[in-house]
Amino acid sequence: MANKGELVCVTGASGCIGSWLVSLLLHRGYSINAAVKDLNDETETKHLQALEGAQTRLRLFQLDLLDYSSIAAAVHGCSGVFHLASPCIVDEVHEPEKELLDPAVKGTINVLTAAKEAGVGRVVVTSSISSIAPNPNWPSDVAMNEDGWTDLDYCKQKKLWYPMSKTLAEKAAWEFAKEKGLDVVVVNPGTVMGPIISPKLNASMIMLLRLLQGCTETYLDFFIGSVHFKDVALAHILVYENKSASGRHLCLEALSHYGDLAAKVAELYPEFKLPSLPRDTQPGLLRANNAAKKLIDMGLQFIPMEQIIKDSVESLKSKGFLT
């Protein structure tokens, strides 16, 4: 393979997206320094070591986003870095600075600094649609796109610490790239679901599980569309390998309302007797099928919502989260 032997670092490798990315990178012939939080925790390591190609081309590193030396060790010798590691807490946050903001922002700067020091060619930063929305001032007649930024004042007012952490971290990444001359590209995924490789659920899969269990929350400030784990992993590889890729890349199969997802889940799985939710759960959010045009133009064919839901629910069943 063309990429055989090329060494890249993946931070947050044990998570739901990270596991998929590591799997696809191994399949493409890359060698990987996979950074996880705790090498002694089998729920972070075992599923990665079981991946095809891992025995010969995967090395595990323990990483603390606030410990520069641990990051520098994982990045050393790599030609590229995929920075996925960032705390994700969308429920109750007791200490926003400590739990979310510092690890997200300072962690990103530490990773970029280590990458610059190591002479890394390109860093792909995993941001989120949470750095694009919520934005109450976005015009209702324009589909959300990469020009939008989350309203930080709105986040403070509503105590939306996760969108704030992703927004501040991405802005810090762009500022660093400009000042230090580092090649950075960003992927902004929507609500990421699908078959789970990791034994732990991400926030998006927990959201789906809650819906199936009868939760009536409409995730007003957290949902603008869904995307498959595989497509998010492919998007990272596409923007890494396509040297003309630049800037931000909205990554979702379509701009949609949470009510659209809930209605499709109810249609596909009537046995769960889901609560009836309004379809227009995000007032002012314009639906659009080609919101991820930059990635579509690179050749990414997004898996549709129906298949994302089917893959997600079957995975929740097979892993014992649903009976």
Task: Tell me which amino acid residue 313 is.
Answer: V
**Rounded Cα–Cα distance for residues 72 and 200 (Å):** 27
Closest CA to 312 of 214, 188, 226: 226
Task: Tell me which amino acid residue 242 is.
Answer: N
> Which tokens is 23 given?
């799997």
Cα→Cα distances 178→184, 185, 305, Å = 9, 12, 36
Check if the beta carbon of residue 274 is closer than 8 Å to that of residue 214: yes
List of residues 6+ apart from 139 with CB closer than 8 A: none
3-state secondary structure of 65: coil
**Rounded Cα–Cα distance for residues 107 and 168 (Å):** 11
3-state secondary structure of 160: coil
As annotated, the active-site residues are 166
**Rounded Cα–Cα distance for residues 174 and 188 (Å):** 14
Q: Which residue has the tokens 């949902």?
A: 223
Task: Tell me which amino acid residue 36 is.
Answer: V
Torsion of CA 22, 59, 201, 188, to 10 degrees: -50
Closest CA to 145 of 15, 2, 285: 285
3-state secondary structure of 83: strand
DSSP state of 252: -
CB atoms within 10 A of CB 41: 12
